[in-house]
Amino acid sequence: MAEAATPASPRTAIDDAYDNAMHFADVPQWRERWLSRSAAWPRSAGDAYDLHYGPDPMQRIDVLPCARASASPTALFFHGGFWSRNSKTTFRFLARGFHAAGLNVAFAGYTLAPEARMARIVEDARGAVRWLRQALGGLGLPGGALIVVGWSAGAHLAAMVMDEPAVAAGMGISGVYDLSDFRRSAMNDMLRLDAADVERYSPTLQTASTAKPFLIAYGARELPAYREQSQRFHAALQGSGVPSDLLELEGHHHHSVLEELSEPDGALVQRLAALARLRGSA
């Protein structure tokens, strides 16, 4: 008689629920594609790389103006990777989509776990927003509030900085907005979240009424944990009177969804352009 399978521990089950590489065989190919596209991105005379917004090595920003830099608003992108991996340079290829939406774009680095705990990571994100807003004029870019955009863990950071005066609107893509699961996962050996961190740094638990629009997008093929994160955050924002929109992108999973932000005719590029128009009329 076959031996019964040993049930997964709660920690293992939570990690598996967020493990895209375990469920989608093409994840490594998507990562390689991003790296090759970003490495091939052509540098322009107006680009500025590795600008320091703080004294630490990861506190740097790349700014890539679009062709209409002098007339375009600026977006700030936060990368994902469970707050512990990837870098701003991995996602440089997304500039194509931001530019197609008529936006200048900046890519923010931030201190990663385990070197940094969540308080430090969120403070880095806030520091990037504040520095960039003040630096726009010196970079030859028009002033005005920023649009913040993030993917995966970066969507969490975009949501966390929506209360900054320098932010006008935001977009979270395939995000995680409630840290409760991660405190009970093996990932917490690295993140070191405690109960106070979960309460303080979970956007779903910290919604406040604001006039700033926030778009929540995710792929229809996302793992259930990610879909539920987006849906619960959207419900929390609506319950607090925040102007939120929920967009499910057919045919996409956690990684392929970024095609909608990189291609000029992508659904997220069109939504970015709409956010820029809203910002301009505010």
Beta strands in the chain (DSSP E): 48-52, 60-64, 74-78, 104-108, 146-151, 167-173, 214-219, 244-249
Between CA 152 and CA 81 the distance in angstroms is: 7
One-letter amino acid identity for 218?
Y
Which residues are CB-neighbours of 36 under 8 A, at least 6 positions away? Answer: none
Which residues are CB-neighbours of 105 under 8 A, at least 6 positions away? Answer: 63, 64, 66, 74, 75, 76, 77, 94, 95, 98, 99
pLDDT score, position 105? 98
Q: For 247-258, what is the mean pLDDT? A: 98
Between CA 84 and CA 100 the distance in angstroms is: 30
Between CA 150 and CA 130 the distance in angstroms is: 17
Going by their DSSP bridges, the two strands 48-52 and 60-64 should be labelled as antiparallel
pLDDT band at 282 (very low <50, low <70, confident <90, very high): low
pLDDT score, position 281? 53
Between CA 63 and CA 167 the distance in angstroms is: 17
Q: For 142-159, what is the mean pLDDT? A: 97
pTM listed for this prediction? 0.94
Q: Which residues pair with 218 in a beta bridge?
A: 248
Q: For 110-128, what is the mean pLDDT? A: 98
pLDDT score, position 68? 82
Residue 11 has pLDDT above 80, yes or no: no
Tokens describing residue 95: 């500039």
Going by their DSSP bridges, the two strands 167-173 and 146-151 should be labelled as parallel
Residue 10 has pLDDT above 90, yes or no: no
Residue 260 has pLDDT above 60, yes or no: yes
Is the Cβ–Cβ distance between 109 and 61 less than 8 Å? yes
pLDDT band at 5 (very low <50, low <70, confident <90, very high): very low
Is the Cβ–Cβ distance between 242 and 209 less than 8 Å? yes
Q: For 53-68, what is the mean pLDDT? A: 95
pLDDT band at 9 (very low <50, low <70, confident <90, very high): low
Q: Which of 279, 262, 118 is nearest to 193 (CA)?
A: 118
Q: Name the strand (E) or helix (H) holding 249.
A: strand 244-249
pLDDT band at 278 (very low <50, low <70, confident <90, very high): confident
Is the Cβ–Cβ distance between 161 and 75 less than 8 Å? no
Q: Which residues pair with 229 in a beta bridge?
A: none
Is the Cβ–Cβ distance between 151 and 79 less than 8 Å? yes
Q: For 262-275, what is the mean pLDDT? A: 97
Q: For 216-234, what is the mean pLDDT? A: 98
Residue 118 has pLDDT above 90, yes or no: yes
Where do the domains of the chain lie, and which CATH numbers do they carry?
10-167+176-281 (3.40.50.1820)
Of the ranges 48-52, 103-107, 238-242, which one carries the lowest mean pLDDT score? 238-242
Is the Cβ–Cβ distance between 53 and 59 less than 8 Å? yes
Between CA 106 and CA 60 the distance in angstroms is: 10
Residue 71 has pLDDT above 90, yes or no: no
Q: Give the single-character DSSP code of 60.
A: E
Q: For 190-206, what is the mean pLDDT? A: 97
Taking all residues of the chain, what is their mean pLDDT, rounded to a whole number? 93
